[in-house]
Chain A
Amino acid sequence: NAGVTQTPKFRVLKTGQSMTLLCAQDMNHEYMYWYRQDPGMGLRLIHYSVGEGTTAKGEVPDGYNVSRLKKQNFLLGLESAAPSQTSVYFCASSDVAGVTEQFFGPGTRLTVL
């Protein structure tokens, strides 16, 4: 099993450009999450999904959109990137919320100039 994978690993954008980060998991997990990690701020939840076709806002959702069209994939979109969105983005998944552990992907390092 590959676990949780993320593409791309690195990306540099100019202010105003758009992009989509892809997260895929092969563990048949129901729940998927997007976090961002910033120095001094720790990891913060952006959006999450409790199953295929569902999405919900986390702690810091502004400027991001998500979609979960397939159970194994969770996409994070930036429609108009801003320098404040420079961060490391992590995707995670879990089987049963509140019961089983979350498994994390390797991260995407995004720089917005």
Chain B
Amino acid sequence: KQEVTQIPAALSVPEGENLVLNCSFTDSAIYNLQWFRQDPGKGLTSLLLIQSSQREQTSGRLNASLDKSSGRSTLYIAASQPGDSATYLCAVGSNTGKLIFGQGTTLQVKP
């Protein structure tokens, strides 16, 4: 059974720092991996989608990498801003589109 783990559960950094969020999964037979952002009381916003054949994806200050063989993905946030404060979720996807989510990392960026 696929299990997704995100460490750390919470992270607090000063504004301007570069940071890395980690996601690990137990079964390397995945179709894709998706990173989401969730603000308190809100829905999920898709940040990046990495196909199983890809190594990384970039969008603005965000860069996500995928290493299927080791069962790991990282989300790199450059030059963090207070507006980046949110919970970040990773999810691994199957060929039917079903997603298995991690518990999330709650990020606080202090001004």
Contact = CB atoms under 8 A, between A and B. Distances in A.
Interface of A: 31, 33, 40, 42-45, 48, 50, 56, 58, 90, 92, 94, 97-107
B24 to A, nearest CB: 14
A42 B98 contact: no
A50 B34 contact: no
Q: Is the interface of B mostly helix, strand, loop or mixed?
A: strand
A98 B93 CA distance: 6
A58 B97 CA distance: 11
A40 B102 CA distance: 10
A69 B101 CA distance: 28
A33 B34 CA distance: 15
B99 A45 contact: yes
Interface stretch (B44-52, B67-75, B78-86): B44-52
Given A98-B31, A101-B34, A106 B46 contact: no
A25 B102 CA distance: 25
A90 B43 contact: yes
A98 B97 contact: yes
A92 B31 CA distance: 18
Contacts of B36: 104
Nearest to B6: A42
Contact of A33 (B32, B98, B102): B98
